[in-house]
Amino acid sequence: MTIKIGVLALQGAVAEHIRSLQQAGAEAVAVKRVEQLSELHGLVIPGGESTTIGKLMRKYGFIEAIRQFAADGKPIFGTCAGLIVLAQRIDGGEEAHLGLMDMTVVRNAFGRQRESFETDLEVAGLDRPLRAVFIRAPLIKEVGPDVEVLSVYKGEIVAARQNRLLACSFHPELTDDSALHAYFVAMAEEAAAEKSVK
Ligand code: GLN
């Protein structure tokens, strides 16, 4: 079966995610309308500006539709601003967007000097270090008991998974290494296989 993954295309790094997903063997499409969600096996919420993405999601009915998508057992991968959009809690009291993942995130957490940087990261589930690009990145300050920490950078959580939800602070779509996209496509494959035997 061909796995079809959508990239939420309201704002942010969409084309790069589509390329990385194709490199990982999936069919990938830009998602602009809620009706498109029903034809997908998984969804990527890209980086950009979480406040803007959240606003547009509310405006176009994506909040309820994506919550339902998650409740149907379909995987979601949030990167950078997408991680913020997935979180149940945003440090500082800002209102959560999707509120799906049991974690508290801190926006723009790496300070001015370290606004953008690259590093090689160990990520649980990947067999070699991943080149990671951080751009005004958030970090995960605290996670609930069902959240598995996948990667830590200088003591801070930068990638995590809660069942079928995957999130990372950095931009995995900005390098040629599509290993984390392949990990997500495998999650979607597993979810799709489980659905078809039910
Ligand atoms: N700083 C952005 C935010 O807080 C996230 C940055 C990014 O996605 N590269 O929403």
The response to whether 58 counts as a known ligand-binding position is no
Does 135 appear as a known binding residue? yes
Q: What is the pLDDT of residue 198?
A: 56
Gap from CA of 47 to ligand 1 centroid (Å): 6
Distance CA 189, CA 75 (A): 10
Q: Could you tell me the distance, in angstroms and rounded to a whole number, from the CA of residue 127 to the centre of ligand 1?
A: 28
User: Which pLDDT band, with edges at 50, 70 and 90, does 61 fall under?
Assistant: very high
Distances (CA, A) of 53 to 23, 49, 85, 172, 198: 25, 6, 8, 19, 34
pLDDT of residue 40: 98
pLDDT band at 1 (very low <50, low <70, confident <90, very high): confident
Catalytic residue among 80, 97, 168, 181: 80
Per the annotation, the verdict on 168 as an active-site residue is no
DSSP 163: T
Q: Which of 15-19, 47-51, 108-112, 118-122 is predicted least confidently? A: 108-112
pTM of the predicted model as reported, rounded to 2 decimal places: 0.97
Q: What is the mean pLDDT of the chain?
A: 96
* Superfamily of 4-197 according to CATH: Class I glutamine amidotransferase (GATase) domain (3.40.50.880)
Sorting pLDDT into bands at 50, 70 and 90, what band is 174? very high
What pLDDT is stored for residue 196 in this prediction?
A: 75
Q: What is the pLDDT of residue 115?
A: 84
Residues lining ligand 1, Cβ inside 6 A: 47-50, 80-81, 84, 107-108, 135-136, 138
At 87-133, the pLDDT tens digits run 999 999 999 999 999 999 999 998 776 789 999 999 999 999 999 99
Give one DSSP letter per residue of 57-126, joined into a string.
HHHTTHHHHHHHHHHTT--EEEETHHHHHHEEEETTSPPPSS--EEEEEETTTTTTTTSEEEEEE--TT-
Q: Is 107 annotated as a binding residue?
A: yes
Q: Which atom of ligand 1 is nearest to the CA of 51?
A: 10
Which atom, in ligand 1's list, is nearest to the CA of 52? 10
DSSP string, 168-190: ESS-GGGSS--HHHHHHHHHHHH
* 104 C-alpha to ligand 1 centroid (Å): 15
Q: What is the pLDDT of residue 31?
A: 98
